[in-house]
Structure 1
Amino acid sequence: MSYKVETVLTNVARVGEGPHWDDATQTLLFVDIINGQIFRYNPVTGTNDMIQLITDGTVGFVVPRSKGGLVVGLDLTFSAVDWNTKTVTKLAEVDPGKSNNKMNDGKCDPKGRLWGGTYSKEAEQGNLYCLDIDGTLTKKVEHVTVSNGLAWSPDNTTMYYNDSRPHKVYAFDYDINTGNISNQRVAVDFDAVPEFKGNVPGPDGMTIDTDGNLWVACFRGGMVAKFDPKTGSLLQQVSLPNATKITSVAWGGKNLDELYVTSLREGIPDSEFQTTDSLAGSLFRVTGLDAKGSQANIYQG
């Protein structure tokens, strides 16, 4: 099986993250965490619109909202955003008193609840939260270091979740009606993957295909890895050119068979971009993977 990698936006973000294919507009939303920006990329026109949401703070993720507008992870809040007016309305606050923490990855479950977690400079000080459609905020997982990728199985009975620092993808039994999760176990242990041969990347953002296989962005791995979560085995490696810090993935395109991939350029000196062909911080699109995703969920609150 051969796949094709295209660089659709070159060096676009310091910390590109949180890609979400907006089926209603056929555009890709994503963020630059460090620069406090939200992007909307239109693959038909090639345009990439941007709003500067914050100049001194972070934006961890972005998802559309059923009643209009967007919801983002802004610093230590879930906040609603109106794209046109840039109006920001705080919906809920997380990790109160933990000034070293910031919101990171977030995604909606099959019922339209919004899940988002925090990362911390200190080990196991982050948490994973769920913002229900009635606005109720619940802490779901504690003692996380870098809260990251989320995905739900096609039959809606399992939730997958990454904590990047321990190098593990966890699985939980998931109740779609209540949003309860239980029976935490390890689905993929990156430290035990023989193909990584000691050069173990961190599991970052993640998506799932219609066959139930996980596609995990490999931070410092220069690739996206496809796993069977039932066995933990590595099924495929998708290499990205001249970019090692791969941050997240999302299925997009009219048929949801195009894999969009974000990356990071933070910490790479400008001189490297002048003297090399580095594509760090670029947005990539991968086709020909013989897999597809389902329509991304949006916040129903």
Structure 2
Amino acid sequence: MSDIPIFEAELVLECGNNLGEGVLWDAHAQVVRWIDIDEPAVHSYDPSTGAYSVDAYAESAHLSNIALVKSNPEELVATIQHDIVILPASKPTRQPSDVKPVVQKSLRTIAQPLSKPFSTQKEVRFNDGGCDPRGRLFAGSMNIGEAKDNRSGELLRIDPDGTRTQILEPGTVGTSNGIGWSPDGKLMYYIDSGEPEVSVFDYDLETGTPSNRRTFAGKPPAMDELGTRGVFDGLCVDGVGNVWVARWRERRIIGYTPEGKIFAYVKCPGALLTTIPCFGGENLDTMYIATARASRVGEKVEDYPASGHLFKMDFGPKSAIRKILGDNWKGADKHAFGI
């Protein structure tokens, strides 16, 4: 069906997430961290030992994104329902078969920036986000009902000094989702899952201001029998400027060149709802992929038994995908919040 090369990711951890998202590599702790939005919880996994932990946060109905904190490797910044908070960065110590969720509390609240009256009416919640190369936090929101005709989401920027700036206002955003920056910081990639495209902006790294929004990539061709029934979800950017985008309901990550040309698919066998990739490992040459449970979209769990689990794919020097990426390819960390 497709002449674009397809590479298969492998199952790493049967974590059974309802809505796995926000995956990142914590280089200080040498662990993969991600969140289950609806539980809500932070999951941490040490690939060298197999140790695993789940920190549950009952104080909020949702926990939608995490990022590292530049000044303190023992902390994470997170978006919960309507607030931006600091969480402890726990070190996993137990094997998966022994893990039970540990109830935690946020350490402190640093911002309550969602626009009124939407947040007071509980019509919206934070969703995906990320930090730019200077440590500014971009946090997007979405309509909780995910109604296509209700564009009450927005995109906010929270600077390390606490300054808050509205980048995209309510009425212009449906489901704010993946965000990332080119290696030189001159471009910002952005996904509103209510739109059939990935957007790109010119980005002023000195001021943190995006401008000149345009289409980076439109609706992709089908990879297999699942077709193109999905939407764009989360993304990450590697160290040479390729953009890797998850397609919800299509069990794949799409690799785009910096010019927006598709050159590879990464397939997650047994999954359906791929949500977001990141690069991790000691050499940043492993892709980790979070997924969500297939029953969220009315599909039978037995038809997609790996949905909700964590996947990985090798991008090392001897891997199959490096034959098309070349010897000069490199992965990239996600940026930390600059406090």
TM-score normalised by length of structure 1: 0.91
Equivalent residue, structure 1, for 2:187: 158
CA distance in 2, matches of 1:8, 1:286: 9
Q: Deviations over 1:15-38 (max 9, x none)?
A: 000001111111111000000101
Picking from 288, 292, 295, the partner of 1:267 is 295
Deviation larger for 122-131 or 101-110: 122-131
Identity, % of aligned pairs?
30
Q: For 2:111, give the aligned amino acid.
A: A
Q: Residue 101 in 1 paired to residue 124 in 2?
A: yes
Structure 1 position 174 matched with structure 2 position 203: yes
Query: Which residue matches 2:331?
Result: 293
What's the Cα RMSD here? Answer: 2.3
Q: CA deviation digits over 1:198-233, x for unaligned, max 9?
A: 624211110111221110011011100011242x32
State how far apart, in whole Å, the 2-side matches of 1:280 and 1:35 are: 16
1:95 Cα deviation from its structure 2 partner: 2.8
Aligned length: 297
Q: CA deviation at 1:150?
A: 0.9
* 1:251 CA drift (Å): 0.4
SS at match of 1:267: helix
Which amino acid in 2 is paired with 1:66? Answer: K
**Superposition deviation, residue 5 in structure 1:** 2.1
Could you tell me which runs of 5 or more consecutive residues in structure 1 were left unpaired when the two chains were aligned.
none
Whole-Å Cα distance in 2 between the matches of residues 277 and 200 of structure 1? 16
Structure 1 range deviating more: 152-161 or 64-73: 64-73
In the alignment, structure 1 residue 16 sits paired with structure 2 residue 20: yes
Counterpart residue identity of residue 16, structure 1: G
Deviations 1:220-279 (A, max 9, x none): 11100011242x322111111011110001000111111100000063599944x55610
- Counterpart CA distance in 2 for 1:239 and 1:282 is 14
Give the match for residue 220 of structure 1. Answer: 249
- Contact 1:15–1:266 (CA<8 Å) still a contact in 2? no
Using a 3 Å threshold, how does the CA distance of structure 1 residues 67 and 223 change in structure 2: closer, same or farther?
same
Match of 1:189 in 2: 218
Aligned counterparts, 1:1-301, within 5 A:
3=7, 5-54=9-58, 56-68=60-72, 69-83=75-89, 86-93=105-112, 94-98=114-118, 99-120=122-143, 121-122=146-147, 123-142=150-169, 143-190=172-219, 193-195=220-222, 199-230=228-259, 232-265=260-293, 267=295, 272-273=300-301, 275=302, 278-287=305-314, 288=319, 289-290=321-322, 291-301=329-339
Letter in 2 for 1:283: L
1:124 shift after superposition: 1.6
CA distance in 1, matches of 2:330, 2:6: 15
CA distance in 2, matches of 1:221, 1:269: 12
Cα deviations across residues 67-92 of structure 1 (Å, max 9, x unaligned)? 32111011011111234663332211
Distance in 1 between residues matched to 2:162 and 2:22, nearest whole Å: 22
Contact 1:95/1:101 (<8 A) preserved:
no
TM-score (norm 2): 0.82
